[in-house]
Amino acid sequence: MKRFIFIILLILFLTLLSCTKNEEPTAPEIKGSRVYIVNNLSETVSIYDEVKDTLFEDVIITGVTPNDIYQVGGLAYIVNSGFGGVPSIQVIDLSTNEIIKEIQLPPGSNPWAITKSANRFFVTLSARNMVYIYDSNLNLIDSIKIGKWPEGIIYYKNSIFIASSGLKPDYTYDVGYVYVLKNPDSIPIIDSIPVKTNPQDFAVSPEGEVFVLCTGDYNIQDGWILEIDPESLLIVDSLHIGGYPGDITYAQQRIFASDWFNGLLIYDLATGKDTIIPTGYGSSRLFAKDEKVYLTIFSGSEMNYLLILDVLDYTIEKKVELGVGKGAQAVLVYKEEL
């Protein structure tokens, strides 16, 4: 009798083990155009196949609280901010959609975003007021103190631009700055530019215009977009867009900014016309590719969405349901040549 009970328990254990294995995500093989959506709350990546109009949910498991995704060639780099856990950077092979490398960052450092120069990676560590510098294989080689609570970061014309939000421990803001690291692949020369309140991210036009998005303090100071000349490092233009925009991208002489409350804000640089596209509560992260703009709609309790818009006439060509409570955030479009 005892032997019979043991056999039953063994079969039950093996069955449960088999079920657990079957529930592990399998990265699909996708060719052509696809969209990678980083789910901040479910700590996964979903992939939308644009060619087959198919969503593959939660096929990549990220680290703790993923915040950013960045492409270099056939690889994607995910920045996990590590809230309540260990921060890390994961490397995804975009041909197989598998994680091929992961490195850890200091606990409590809250890494925000990543960019790459010719030979080095640069990661903002918001809670440490630092930028970590890695070689092309993600070996740490240096670190630099940068302002207060640095967030967005880009590389353009042999310079690294860093948005220092000025966030203080009491959740108020000091003056925002853009820090610039010139000659980043050798010994960087650091410059700084005072800007508006709470600079968070950048967009660069093909014509060489560098735009910084300043969100405001969510109270009195509201949103601005400033244009910085990358050579002189002077502010050459400004646009008061209002609201509290959180992300920015550029396409076809148009600036697109997502506003959590107001939707998608669009400014046509050629005509001076501004447009607001209502998208519902939770407009989050943006990505522009060819003549399309991709926008994630974030929710912690309701349906999340990916919106795909035509750059020229602003029509929403596709509204993809991403799942409930995912916390859809950073987005990357990868178009593989067939």
DSSP state of 237: E
121-162 residue pLDDT tens: 999 999 999 999 999 999 999 999 999 999 999 999 999 999
3-class DSSP state of 169:
coil
Is 228 a domain residue?
no
| Cα–Cα distance, 324 to 96 (Å, whole number) | 26
Using only C-alpha atoms, the chain has a radius of gyration, in whole angstroms, of: 21
Mean pLDDT of 294-322: 98
Answer whether residue 22 is part of any domain.
no
Run of H or E residues at 133: strand 130-135
What's the CATH number where 155 sits? 2.130.10.10
Query: What pLDDT band is residue 5 in, cutting at 50, 70 and 90?
Result: very low
d(CA 204, CA 215): 17
1 pLDDT above the threshold of 90: no
- 90 and 176 inside one domain: yes
Q: Which of 187, 207, 227 is the last residue of a domain?
A: 207
| Closest C-alpha to 113, from 48, 164, 158 | 164
Domain range for residue 286? 241-338
Task: Name 332's Cβ contacts closer than 8 Å, sequence gap at least 6.
Answer: 35, 36, 38, 69, 70, 71, 76, 287
Give the domain-ending residue among 185, 207, 229.
Answer: 207
Q: Looking at the structure, tell me whether residues 185 and 255 fall in a common domain.
A: no
Distance CA 175, CA 189 (A): 22
- Measured CA to CA, the distance from residue 65 to residue 126 in angstroms comes to 14
28 confidence band (pLDDT: 50, 70, 90)? confident
Q: For a pLDDT cut of 90, what percent of the chain falls above it?
A: 88
With beta carbons less than 8 A apart as the criterion, state whether 188 and 182 touch: yes
Residue 333 maps to which CATH number? 2.40.10.480
183 pLDDT more than 50? yes
Query: Is 323 a member of any domain?
Result: yes
Tally the domains of the chain.
2
pLDDT band, very low/low/confident/very high, at 271 (cuts 50, 70, 90): very high
The 3-state DSSP class for residue 165 equals coil
Higher pLDDT, 28 or 229: 229
Do 88 and 183 reside in the same domain of the chain? yes
How much is the pLDDT for 338?
A: 63
151 plus 63 within the same structural domain: yes
pLDDT of 43 reads 98
Letter string b/e over residues 47-58, b meaning 16 or more CB atoms within 10 A of that residue's CB: bbbbeeeebbbb
- What order do you get walking across the sheet with 111-116 strand by strand? 111-116, 120-125, 130-135, 140-145
- Say how many C-beta atoms besides its own lie within 10 A of residue 5's C-beta: 9
User: Do 156 and 289 lie in a common domain?
Assistant: no
Q: Tell me how far apart the alpha carbons of residues 248 and 227 are, in angstroms, rounded to a whole number.
A: 13
Q: Give tens-digit pLDDT for 136-145.
A: 999 999 999 9
pLDDT value at residue 30: 82
